[in-house]
Structure 1
Amino acid sequence: MAFGRLERTKASQPMSDINMTPLVDVMLVLVVIFILTAPLLSSSIQLDLPKTDAAKSPSAPQFVTLVVDKAGHTFLNDQPVTAAELATQLSLAADQNPDTEVQLRADTTVPYGRVVEVMGVAQKAGLNKIGFVAQPPTAAATTTPVTP
């Protein structure tokens, strides 16, 4: 044939590697966007707040300790009190800080009714957060079965 041979040139082989350039470009754009927007997210309104000691929150929650002994006597913060004194002092504590917690410790032999009376006095004074304090059982007590 007069035209000669038709030669085929080899076509380029498909690329089997991942092209990282677009991925890197996108990541750099995202980093720049985050760098620019992060300071704006913290606070959009700049304020110069006044300084005062009253603005500090107490580091530990305030609480009062209320103890009822075997005889049914009441102690507030380790001081013996009568029922009237207890109501007055708990009302003062509630007026100073309504979130004051009452930590109630009662002997195991104290009748349940006496514990409820003391809880009622605390609640009437405005102290509704009452925590019962107990001791963990000893090793001998944990092995003893409980009978109904």
Structure 2
Amino acid sequence: MAFASFDRKSTAQPVSDINMVPLIDVMLVLLVIFIVTAPLLTHAVKLELPKASSQVNELKPDKIELAIDAAGERFWNGEPITREAAAERFLAEGRREPQPEVHLKADQSVAYRFVAETIADASKAGLHKLGFVSEPEAN
């Protein structure tokens, strides 16, 4: 390292070396700060946590297939049923958790009155998942 001197003979040359002492001092101060604060950052409370599975326990809702033929007769999952009996079953199904899905299959020539009555009965019973089943057109 080059140090400045009071000698008049060598005053004409500038000092070309970097003075490293202040940089080393700063580095040592930062190292001491790091050594002091590092144990404080890793302090943790030791707990024994319970173990649980992360799989979702999904309950699939049942489905009710209600069909209405061209004559207006109703079929609950394939068996014939009257409107009153269907309304009673809707009330019973509306209280279940999770609520079942109602799949309504109506003949294309059935009067809309029968479809509207069925939708109203399901809605009164508290069933909100109602879907219409249809067949795609043949191209």
Bin of the TM-score, shorter chain as denominator length: 0.5 to 0.7
Q: Does 1:132 align with 2:138?
A: no
Aligned residues: 107
**Cα deviations across residues 48-82 of structure 1 (Å, max 9, x unaligned)?**
xxxxxxxxx65312221111112211001111101
Q: Secondary structure at the match of 2:91?
A: helix
Structure 2 stretches lacking a partner, 5+ long? 1-6, 19-30, 51-56
The match for 2:60 is 60
| CA shift for structure 1 position 127 | 1.7
Normalised by the length of structure 2, the TM-score is: 0.59
The match for 1:113 is 113
Q: How do residues 1-148 of structure 1 correspond to structure 2 at under 5 angstroms?
A: 3-6=8-11, 7-12=13-18, 59-97=59-97, 99-138=99-138, 140=139
Percent identity, aligned pairs only?
30
Normalised by the length of structure 1, the TM-score is: 0.56
* In structure 1, C-alpha distance between the alignment counterparts of 2:111 and 2:100, rounded to whole Å: 26
Q: CA RMSD in A?
A: 3.5
* In structure 1, C-alpha distance between the alignment counterparts of 2:128 and 2:107, rounded to whole Å: 21
Deviates more, 1:89-98 or 1:124-133: 89-98
Q: Secondary structure at the match of 1:128?
A: coil
Larger Rg: 2
- Would you say the 8 A contact 1:102–1:130 is kept in 2? yes
**Cα deviations across residues 92-134 of structure 1 (Å, max 9, x unaligned)?**
2223347222111111212222210111121222323211122
Cα pair distance change 1:87/1:114, threshold 3 Å? same
Structure 1 stretches lacking a partner, 5+ long? 13-21, 41-45, 48-56, 141-148
The match for 1:145 is none
* In structure 1, C-alpha distance between the alignment counterparts of 2:99 and 2:14, rounded to whole Å: 89
* In structure 2, C-alpha distance between the alignment counterparts of 1:111 and 1:97, rounded to whole Å: 33
